[in-house]
Chain A
């Protein structure tokens, strides 16, 4: 069994559809990386570190074919929206 087959086997085991199994397993991988980081990295620039770890986790599950590609684009869009809000406030002095 390869790593790519894990979601389908997991779906068969739990009796759920494969997409749900892919999302559940992706969440487990991302949270396994992110939660310890959130505990360890605190302070002013912690969000940047959390984002980097989230992207790394997403890259892993995307590469394994567990996560739909558009979820990565959605994460990028949300992150960029946040950066644009902060930077527009900083640049225009608002």
Chain B
């Protein structure tokens, strides 16, 4: 009897929890923020972002890479021989085997600069030391937010000089439009994979444990009821 009761409990808990969490409007995650920028920028360039990640050349690792988490995905930024590449890590469950969901850089004219952005292209697209690219995933063309490259144009006339001096700044922002549709599913996945945004790991573990416990019990109960000799 206790097993049947736990079975009903597990089903009710999983269905209600997933249903209610999926029903939370994504706009409740905040009204947006004003990114911290190092040099003054045209406000139009940094408008419309719900959440952002800022970094500069000095933040890059010894391999000229920078990793961060944004919009429930882990991102890898690489500076390779004067070119820039950006992609989201593709996980197989919780493991990452080096696969990236690479992004294309689309300039303000709508021209795709491909997944490898050169300094010459940045110089051509930039105005007064700043340029905004729209990011699109290469695989499915979905919106991946905006990417801004900026530097102090009074000190460095070209981005190449700023790169040499490690004085180039980057901003990856995600707007409400690019977070709205996939958030319900990615929020649940983030919860289960211990990658809930802005959530301490221990709290995430406490939240995920009942769900895992219910799922494991359900699997055990179904197998047990299916096999009469167990």
Which of chain A's residues has its CB closest to B209's CB? A77
Interface size class of A (residues with CB under 8 A): 20 to 34
Instruction: Judge whether B16 and A70 touch: CB under 8 Å.
Output: no
Q: Bound state CA distance, A89 and B27, in angstroms?
A: 36
Q: Bound state CA distance, A63 and B24, in angstroms?
A: 11
Which of chain A's residues has its CB closest to B17's CB? A80
A87 and B8 in contact, given A69-B198, A70-B198 (Cβ under 8 angstroms): yes
Instruction: Judge whether B17 and A76 touch: CB under 8 Å.
Output: yes
Q: Please, which residues of chain A bring their CB within 8 A of the CB of B196?
A: 70, 73
Min Cβ gap B180→A in Å is 15
Q: Is A16 an interface residue (CB 8 A)?
A: no
Q: Please, which residues of chain A bring their CB within 8 A of the CB of B8?
A: 87-88, 91-92
Instruction: Judge whether A70 and B28 touch: CB under 8 Å.
Output: no
Given contacts A72-B28, A80-B17, A94-B5, 13 further A-B contacts (CB under 8 A): A69-B28, A69-B197, A69-B199, A70-B198, A70-B199, A70-B204, A73-B191, A76-B17, A80-B16, A81-B13, A87-B9, A91-B8, A92-B4
25 inter-chain pairs at a CB distance below 8 angstroms, sorted by A residue, are A4-B31, A59-B28, A62-B29, A62-B30, A63-B31, A65-B30, A65-B31, A69-B28, A69-B30, A69-B198, A69-B199, A70-B196, A70-B198, A70-B207, A72-B24, A73-B191, A74-B207, A76-B17, A80-B13, A80-B20, A85-B9, A87-B9, A88-B6, A91-B8, A92-B4
B residues contacting A by CB (< 8 A) are 1, 4-6, 8-10, 12-13, 16-17, 20-21, 24, 27-31, 191, 196-199, 203-204, 206-207, 210
